[in-house]
Amino acid sequence: MDVTGKIAVVTGGGRGIGRGIVLALARNGADVVVADVNPDDAAGVAAEAAELGRRSMTSRLDVTDQDSVDGMVEEVTARFQRIDVLVNNAGIYAAPGFEERDEANEDDWDMIYEVNVKGVVRVTCAVKPGMKDRRCGKIVNIASIAGRRGSPENPPYAVSKTGVISYTQASALELAPYGVNVNAICPGSLWTPMWERIALRRGGSEAENPEGLAPRGFFERTVQRNIPLEREQTPEDIGNLAAFLASDLSRNITGQSINVDGGLRLN
């Protein structure tokens, strides 16, 4: 999965899945941009990438702000002259306070759509003109298995990830004539800050967690019960697939949404 010399931007690259993607790209030879709303998180991951021998930089990015998006692209272009790989990873699970609510409210719908759907669109639209001009590029969108099938657990999140899958397909058809590949990854069950929020909410239910397991224990039991391979997925798993999709090995793959979920969804 050689991506040596490619310039890769990872949104939400400061922790969790984003960190795993940044480091996988760096290990395989890419120079990386950690674009994150939290500069401290981004700086730590950029330092890790530099320790792997790659050039790295940070850019403070708020995907809900068009000026911030445009500024990030200008900053990266000034430093590296181009963007070869874009990984749209920035996302949220819910608005603040979700753990205490019985169901999603209007704030959840608005915030999730603004970040998870419009954020992907904003960054893609800011980056794709350069890729079209050079007639090459790779875009990888991080969706979710939640986007594969509706669930009452958190409808706005599932709807947003279905939107990412659909936008991936539309972008793939639009950009194929320019030699740009667009694909999505659908992660399954990973112990990240996002899943910890899920565990805090679901684990508080006596019906779902009669043993009163702590969040991590509740997560592990959920994995063992629901995933055919009976093991959790990791940010490294997602990063390895992202590195493959960013490489020339994937040149004939576009418009696809690939599950990394231990067999939980078979499609």
State pLDDT tens for residues 131-172: 999 999 999 999 999 999 988 889 999 999 999 999 999 999
Q: What is the mean pLDDT of the chain?
A: 95
Average pLDDT over residues 108-126: 98
pLDDT value of residue 17: 97
Burial class of residue 5 in the structure, from the number of CB atoms within 10 Å of its CB (0-12 exposed, 13-18 middle, 19+ buried): exposed
Question: Is position 167 annotated as part of the catalytic site?
Answer: no
pLDDT at 200: 78
Using a cut of 0.85, tell me whether the model's pTM lies above it.
yes
What pLDDT does 211 receive? Answer: 86
Provide the pLDDT for residue 153.
82
What CATH number should be reported for the domain whose range is 7-188+234-260? 3.40.50.720
Mean pLDDT over residues 28-36, rounded? 99
* Predicted pLDDT at 219: 87
Residue 204 has pLDDT above 90, yes or no: no
DSSP-derived pairing of the beta strands 56-60 and 85-88: unpaired
pLDDT at 150 (0 to 100) = 84
> What are the residue boundaries of the structural domains of the chain, listed by start?
7-188+234-260, 191-232
Q: How far apart are CA 38 and CA 60, in angstroms?
A: 7
CB atoms within 10 A of CB 234: 16
Active-site choice (93, 113, 157, 178) = 157
The pLDDT tens digits for 46-105 are: 999 999 999 999 999 999 999 999 999 999 999 999 999 999 999 999 898 887 788 889
Q: Report the distance separating Cα 160 and Cα 156, nearest Å.
A: 6
Burial of 115 (0-12, 13-18, 19+ CB in 10 A): buried
Q: What is the pLDDT of residues 118-130, one digit of tens each?
A: 999 999 999 999 9
Note the pLDDT of residue 77.
98
Q: How confident is the model at residue 267 (pLDDT cuts 50, 70, 90)?
A: confident
The residues that bridge with 141 in the sheet, in sequence order, are 88, 184
Looking at the chain, the whole-number percentage of residues with pLDDT higher than 90 is 82
Question: How many other CB atoms are there within 10 angstroms of residue 27's CB atom?
Answer: 18
User: How far is 224 from 244, CA to CA, in rounded Å?
Assistant: 28
